[in-house]
């Protein structure tokens, strides 16, 4: 955890030459306007969690920690620009659960399924979904059965048809590294953040 700088602020970090980090309130790139959702207590220390990942391995280390906290049925949105680290994070989760094969980005297939660590996981990449209705026609709704773990890149493409997220993870590209922010929308999500902070 040496290079994992944890913060609870909702602001954008600007690395300083001395290694410290300054913050502004400007929304991060890829961050959705209006975050966190209205009604979600920003004073709730378990609702939000943010830190700076200096390199890919730091992102993978966080994914590894989150992997141990996943429960059947949890829904996680992964937001951020292309190349921000969403698929890298999913690879970290799957590898931590024991998956040794490739983790390919399901850009054209929209979804890849995995069985690892006793969990069924569905990794969605909806970037190339043209119409939200595809979520229905592809039968994805039926997969939301309380058991499958959903990891969804570009959830906004499915609009309100995708199941609501317990946890949203927002990746922002910085000059050197990534800002990764977690937002909990449910008690399940808050529990993940609570345990990540321990
Ligand atoms: N801190 C970091 N975390 C994650 N990826 C990083 C980081 N620094 C550099 N990278 C690189 O950025 C790219 C992220 O790609 P990917 O995970 O496919 O992004 P996305 O799925 O968001 O489009 C990879 O090439 C990875 O090596
Ligand atoms: Mg991706």
Going from the Cα of 56 to the center of ligand 1, the distance in angstroms, rounded, reads: 6
Question: Taking the model in full, what pTM does it have?
Answer: 0.82
Q: Is the CB of 178 under 6 A from ligand 1?
A: yes
What's the pLDDT tens digit per position in 47-86? 999 989 999 999 999 999 999 999 999 999 999 999 999 9
Q: Is the CB of 104 under 6 A from ligand 1?
A: no
Does residue 161 form part of some domain? yes
What's the pLDDT tens digit per position in 89-131? 999 999 999 999 999 999 889 999 999 999 999 999 999 999 9
Going from the Cα of 111 to the center of ligand 2, the distance in angstroms, rounded, reads: 11
**Number of other residues whose CB lies within 10 A of the CB of residue 121:** 24
**Number of other residues whose CB lies within 10 A of the CB of residue 153:** 26
DSSP labels, 43-98: T-TTTEEEEEE-SHHHHHHHHHHHHTT--TT-EEEEE-STTSSHHHHHHHHHHHTT
Does residue 18 form part of some domain? no
List the CATH number of the domain containing 86.
3.40.50.300
Does residue 83 form part of some domain? yes
Whole-angstrom distance, CA of residue 174 vs CA of residue 28: 9
Q: Is the CB of 195 under 6 A from ligand 1?
A: no
Question: How many helices (DSSP H) and strands (DSSP E) are in the chain?
Answer: 5, 10
Q: Which atom of ligand 1 is nearest to the CA of 89?
A: 17
The domain containing residue 87 runs over which residues?
2-12+46-194
Whether the pLDDT of residue 15 is over 90: the answer is no
Does residue 121 form part of some domain? yes
The tokens for 83 are: 């190349």
Q: Structurally, how many domains does the chain consist of?
A: 1
Does residue 39 form part of some domain? no
């Amino acid at each position: 955890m040496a290079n994992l700088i944890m913060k609870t602020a909702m602001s954008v970090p600007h690395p300083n030459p001395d290694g410290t980090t300054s913050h502004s309130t400007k929304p991060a790139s890829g961050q959705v306007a209006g975050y966190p959702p209205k009604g979600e207590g920003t004073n709730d220390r378990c609702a939000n969690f943010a830190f700076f990942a200096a390199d890919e391995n730091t992102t993978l280390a966080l994914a590894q920690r989150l992997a141990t906290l996943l429960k059947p049925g949890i829904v996680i949105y992964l937001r951020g620009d292309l190349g921000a680290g969403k698929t890298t994070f999913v690879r970290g989760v799957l590898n931590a659960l024991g998956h040794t094969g490739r983790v390919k980005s399901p850009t054209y297939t929209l979804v890849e399924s995995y069985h690892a660590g006793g969990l069924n996981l569905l990794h969605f990449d909806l970037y190339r979904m043209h119409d939200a209705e595809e979520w229905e026609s592809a039968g994805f709704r039926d997969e939301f059965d309380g058991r499958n773990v959903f990891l969804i890149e570009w959830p906004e493409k499915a609009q309100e048809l995708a199941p609501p997220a317990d946890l949203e993870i927002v990746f922002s590209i910085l000059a050197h590294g990534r800002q990764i922010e977690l937002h909990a929308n449910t008690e399940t999500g808050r529990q993940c953040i609570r345990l990540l902070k321990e």
